[in-house]
Amino acid sequence: MPDSIPQKRHKSPIIPYRLRRRLAPYGFLSPFLLLFAVFLIYPLIRSILMAFTQSYGPQATVFVGLENFKFLFKDSQFWRAFVNTVYFAIGAVSIQLPLSLFLALILNQRIPGRNLLRFAFFVPYLVGPVFVGIIFTLFYTPRYGLFNQTIDFLFGFGLDTRWLTNEYLVMPAIIIAATWTIVGFYMIFFLAALQSIRKELLEAAEVDGAGTLRRLWHITLPGIKPVTVFILVTSTIGAFKLFELPYILLKQNSGPNDSALTIVMYLFQTGFESGDLGYASAIGWVLVAFVVAVSYAQIRLTRTFREDA
Amino acid sequence: MSLKHRIALIFATTLVLFAACLTLLPFLWLLCASVKSNDDLFMYSFLPHNGQAWWDVEWNRLTLFNFKRLFSEFGFHRYAINSIFVSSTQTCLVVLFSSMGGFALAKYRFRGIHLIVTAMLVSMVIPGEVLLGPTYELLYKFGWLDSYKALIIPGSVSVFAMFLYRQSMLSVPNDLLDAARVDGCSEFGIYAEIVMRACKPMTGAIVLMTFMASWNAFLWPQIVLQSRENYTLPIILAQMISLYWSEYGIVMAGTVISIFPVMILFFILQKEFVGGLLSGAVKS
Amino acid sequence: MDERFPFGTILLVFMLTALASGLTLFDRESTDDSRVLTVASFAKIHLLSYEPLLQQFEAEHPGVKVKLELVESRALTQRVFSSFMSGVPGPDVVEIEITHIGRFFSGPLESIGFVDLTDRLHQSGLYDEFVPAKFQAWSNRGRIFGLPRDISPVALLYQPEAFAESGIDPQSIETWDDFYEAGKKLTRDLDGDGLIDQYAIELSDTISDDFHILLLQRGLDYFTPEYKPRLEEDIFIDTLAMYLKMAAGPDRIGAPLPNLVASAQAIRDRYIVSHLGADWRLGGFRMETPALAGLLRLMPLPAWEPGGRRTSTWGGTMMGICKSSPMQKEAWDFLKMIYTSREALLTTYRYTALTPPARFTWDAPEFDQPDPFIGGQKSGRFFIKLAPDVPARVKNPFSYMADQTMHQVIVRSCRRVHEEGYDRVRIIAAEELHRAAKHIEQRMERNPFL
């Protein structure tokens, strides 16, 4: 590497060396900071202010004080969206996390073609939510769709199940589609964590006569805990932002009886389909509060467990 | 390994193999659907076949017609070029801005550094959805709505990418930089010639992440784009599912083409991508 | 070679790609300098029918080129809407579907983005050509903002073979009660596996469109023209109860189609053997699913009481002009061409089967031609006979929200009928409608701009 350092021509500097070195970081940061200020900081502050207005697009705005938040707390549609989102978050995380861990544990063994298998599970992650939605709308077609036909072929029932028009099955259908896309992604993290566990520890335990399950419980699982917490928090945050997948899957609707209305979908509908950017901001900030609270709680909770152990 | 272990492992492997097949099934189905005619789409689950024997495929019923029509009738290349332009420009800008920012944070001490880092960390916690309204309003004031600028420029600031760069730049030894300075290398020269060269794997990871996010983006383009000639692929395809429901083969063909580029890029950048992802996880 | 560019080969490739794609894009944009009149619609078939007329229009307006733009309905609404909110120019002429029109009226009157056409309509004498009821949906605070594109009379599309097999003579069906009795014979388990393979009629238990058709047939809509919800009127509850009997009761005769894409297949398989259908739906079937040729026939809707109205209305579109358009005069000329030229209206009819909204075309011999798609019935004349009876619809800024609420009413009450038993159907209907009315009123209180 050192011999690739370019030899610059020495010229007498116009700006003295020390000053140059002091100014340099600001120069490097300025394009980033400019964009950061304009497209993150300003909108953030503006959005707080907007939450206290009611508007019809950027042109007609009325200041309403805390009215938006008051309405939000009695707005049954918002609470419906909230419950749906929490349902999705809990359902998705509690399926995806163990499933990806299971896949990682198996694909960490020396089995033939494991790289190919890892790849197979990862590839859906590369498909954008819109495209996943497009593909899965057809899968879930009752009677003619692949999903029901596969279930019918394997278990002999469920050919006419209406996944997307039955209010109780919509969320499970979304969770299945979401799991399809994301499991391989989490699996990669688990695999990396598994590989970082020291082999000697496992071997020593085996010599001591610890069975597979005991080794899993006492060595492997504690070893991958930081990554587990990371995935737990990221996947929860991701789940709270659910929007595109159900939006496309349900033809830009919120599902029967609003059963697939998520918080972000509601935010989008109020802000950009009804034009009330103010109320949309209020929804957004309530979402922020929940996301922060839940991630904080998860991190705290996992810490307590460690102290117990 | 004991016999019991072996049996358990074989059982688990079979299970995983089966799950892998199920995971890939949608892709197979998608490919089949894109080469079937409309009448055959729901008549056969995968390929058109003769009576009960699924292996007896009627190859002559398959057609590339859907792909042909996609480009000749629907002008699909226009949306593809839009997507390519927006995603690749955005990728280049993210790499440039965030690597420069990351370099400043990793290799210099200066006034305000703590304030900046704190602000960035806070902004990472807040979901971008809160910013949709104000950013829309801002772009309206700039007169940028319905333009490529509206997609590219707000999208070219990535705090996450900047932290990843900072992370990997910290491991470039300071002695190397000082040696270059003694040799009369400019600060920008150090950044470009030494640090960026050392961080090539990270660049690979960030390229893939940014490109993927931009290529698949739906919510923001859906809000700011007005005219049809500016649409990106997810936008046009989301519309096609309703507009061309009776010619679903074409939509399937469009989907095949749209998910292709990201997969190719992933094949090229696999190693860097996984490395980059993991260093992100370690930091958090 | 990799070493030359410190950011890595992959980024170099991306920079070149960005440059190349950018050049192709911006190169193309600079070439066009004729004035373009953009006409946007969500209906492929409408735009197809305008295409043959463009040459004449462009000849009469030198220097103007017409661009037809197809945008998916929901996306089009959202785009036109946000162009009104933000003042970014949208299309010049736009077609908006009736489901979404209400929200355009929710701001201050002066911020409604459509050109007020009331005076132009009266001055040009065009107003008198239309069925007056059809203007109501496109008006707000006494002003007309769009021209009705259609009349959209509703009839019943049925499969004669399936009816014959079950021994039912469609002529004998006069009321919905008659239809229900016939429907019980048509709803069958064909292969004896305990699952029903054939339903008499397509009725949704998740969305309220079908219910709305039946309601409109009785001359009732969700609101009065004064924005007062009508959900708790007796006749409303009564209609819902009958709907639940057909779509959700233990002896239901209706089911929804699997989904749009698979609908042709499901009809061919006779999963469902009759459908509520407006003229445009027949046109849609003819255009999009030629495989259904010969399978379907038309009959008037069963009435609610003997001698009652035998049609209703479903859907509908208006054509309006955006205020942001710099070419409002040309846009109005375009509208006039579409609506005053006999040839233009008949072209649209040929493509879409839409009964022309202007009466002066109704004597055209075309309407008496047998339609091979429905076994030689004269579909044009059939719908024209229904047209004068078509009920008016009321649309206001709360209509969309009311539609959503009514979807919920359908889902919830269908579910409750399953859970609580059909005996409670009237109570369920009344309770759910009361709940919905409260919800609608709560939201109506919020708009500060009306």
Most C-contacting residue of B239, B248, B264, B268 (CB-CB within 10 A), to test interface: B239
List the chains bordering chain A where 3 or more Cβ pairs fall under 8 Å. B, C
Q: Which residue of A has its CA nearest to B222?
A: A272
Contacts of B151 (CB under 8 A, 6+ apart): B86, B90, B214, B217, B220, B221, B224, B225, B232
Bridge partners of residue C64, in order along the sequence: C35
Interchain contact C262–A (C-beta under 8 A): yes
CB contact under 8 A, B138 and A189: no
Per-residue model confidence as pLDDT tens digits over A73-126: 989 899 999 999 999 999 999 999 999 999 999 898 888 888 889 889 999 999
Question: C270: which DSSP letter?
Answer: T
C294 compared with B127, residue with greater pLDDT: C294
pLDDT reported for residue A4: 45
Per-residue model confidence as pLDDT tens digits over B159-182: 989 988 998 899 889 999 989 988
List the chains bordering chain C where 3 or more Cβ pairs fall under 8 Å. A, B
**Averaged pLDDT of chain A:** 85
| Pair C28, C56: CB distance under 8 Å | no
Q: Is the pLDDT score of C135 beyond 60? A: yes
Measured between alpha carbons, how far apart are the two ends of chain A, in Å?
46
Confidence tier at B94 by pLDDT (50, 70, 90): very high
pLDDT reported for residue C321: 96
Average pLDDT over every residue of B113-135: 84
Confidence tier at B60 by pLDDT (50, 70, 90): confident
Confidence tier at B283 by pLDDT (50, 70, 90): very low
Per-residue model confidence as pLDDT tens digits over A151-200: 888 888 888 888 888 889 999 999 999 999 999 999 998 998 888 888 88
**Averaged pLDDT of chain C:** 90
Q: Helix, strand or coil for residue C380? A: helix
**And the tokens for B90?**
């955005």
CB contact under 8 A, B130 and A47: yes
Most B-contacting residue of C86, C97, C263 (CB-CB within 10 A), to test interface: C86
Type of residue at B238: A
Q: Is the pLDDT score of C424 beyond 70? A: yes
Residues in B lying within 8 Å of C, measured between beta carbons:
39, 41-43, 81-82, 84-85, 88-89, 91-92, 95, 136, 140, 145-146, 148, 192-193, 196-197, 200, 203-204, 207, 211, 222-223, 225-228, 235, 238-240, 242-246, 248, 268-269
pLDDT reported for residue A172: 95
| Pair C39, C92: CB distance under 8 Å | yes
Confidence tier at B12 by pLDDT (50, 70, 90): confident
Q: Is the pLDDT score of A308 beyond 50? A: no
CB contact under 8 A, A280 and B26: no
Range among A262-276, A290-304, C208-222 rated most confident: C208-222
Most B-contacting residue of A40, A110, A119 (CB-CB within 10 A), to test interface: A40
Q: At what angle do helices B132-142 and A42-50 cross, to 10 degrees?
A: 110
pLDDT reported for residue C3: 61
CB contact under 8 A, B203 and C8: yes
Confidence tier at B47 by pLDDT (50, 70, 90): confident
Q: Helix, strand or coil for residue C198? A: strand
Interchain contact C265–A (C-beta under 8 A): yes
Q: Is the pLDDT score of B2 beyond 80? A: no
| Pair A56, A275: CB distance under 8 Å | yes
C259 compared with C1, residue with greater pLDDT: C259
Distance of alpha carbon A179 from alpha carbon A235, whole angstroms: 11
Distance of alpha carbon A123 from alpha carbon B23, whole angstroms: 9
DSSP code string of chain B:
--HHHHHHHHHHHHHHHHHHHHHHHHHHHHHHHHTS-HHHHTTSSSS-EETTEEEEE-GGG--SHHHHHHHHTT-HHHHHHHHHHHHHHHHHHHHHHHHHHHHHHHH---TTHHHHHHHHHHHHHS-GGGGHHHHHHHHHHHT-TTSHHHHHHHHT--HHHHHHHHHHHTTS-HHHHHHHHHTT--HHHIIIIIIHHHTHHHHHHHHHHHHHHHHH--HHHHHH--SGGG--HHHHHHHHHHHTGGGHHHHHHHHHHHHHHHHHHHHHHHHHHHHHHHHHHHH-
Confidence tier at C320 by pLDDT (50, 70, 90): very high
Confidence tier at B245 by pLDDT (50, 70, 90): confident
Contacts of C50 (CB under 8 A, 6+ apart): C39, C68, C338, C344, C347, C348
Q: Is the pLDDT score of C150 beyond 50? A: yes
pLDDT reported for residue C343: 84
Alpha helices (H) along C421-447: 425-444
| Pair C74, C101: CB distance under 8 Å | no
Average pLDDT over every residue of A132-149: 87
pLDDT reported for residue B223: 86
Q: Which residue of B has its CA nearest to C289?
A: B246
Distance of alpha carbon C368 from alpha carbon C389, whole angstroms: 20
Q: Is the pLDDT score of C217 beyond 90? A: yes
| Closest of A111, A212, A185, A184 to residue B13, by C-alpha | A111
Per-residue model confidence as pLDDT tens digits over C56-88: 999 999 989 999 988 888 889 888 888 887 777
Confidence tier at A2 by pLDDT (50, 70, 90): very low
| Closest of B259, C97, B241 to residue A128, by C-alpha | B259
Q: Which of A78-87, B124-133, C146-155, C408-417 has the lowest mean pLDDT?
A: B124-133
Q: Is the pLDDT score of B70 beyond 50? A: yes
| Pair A76, C439: CB distance under 8 Å | yes
pLDDT reported for residue A3: 44
Residue B37, sorted as left (phi over 0), alpha (psi -120 to 50) or beta, turns out to be: beta
Per-residue model confidence as pLDDT tens digits over C223-244: 998 889 999 999 999 999 999 9
pLDDT reported for residue C317: 94
CA distance, residue C353 to nearest chain B CA (Å): 18
Q: Which of B240-244, B257-261, B277-281, C422-426 has the lowest mean pLDDT?
A: B277-281
Distances B133 to A60, A196, C416 between C-alpha atoms, Å: 14, 44, 39
pLDDT reported for residue B123: 83
Interchain contact A271–B (C-beta under 8 A): yes
Q: Count other C-beta atoms under 10 Å from residue C12's C-beta.
A: 14
Q: Is the pLDDT score of B65 beyond 50? A: yes
pLDDT reported for residue A12: 55
Helix (H) or strand (E) holding C94: strand C93-97
The percentage of chain B sitting over the pLDDT mark of 90, rounded to a whole number, equals 36
Model's pTM, two decimal places? 0.87
CA distance, residue C354 to nearest chain B CA (Å): 18
Question: C130: which DSSP letter?
Answer: B
As for the ipTM of the complex, it is: 0.87
Strand-pair category, C317-321 with A53-56: unpaired
CB contact under 8 A, B176 and A149: no
Average pLDDT over every residue of A266-285: 88
Distance of alpha carbon C151 from alpha carbon C49, whole angstroms: 17
Q: Which of A216-220, A259-263, B106-110, B236-240 has the lowest mean pLDDT?
A: A216-220
Cross-chain CB nearest to B245 (options C21, C69, C261): C261
CB contact under 8 A, A59 and C3: no
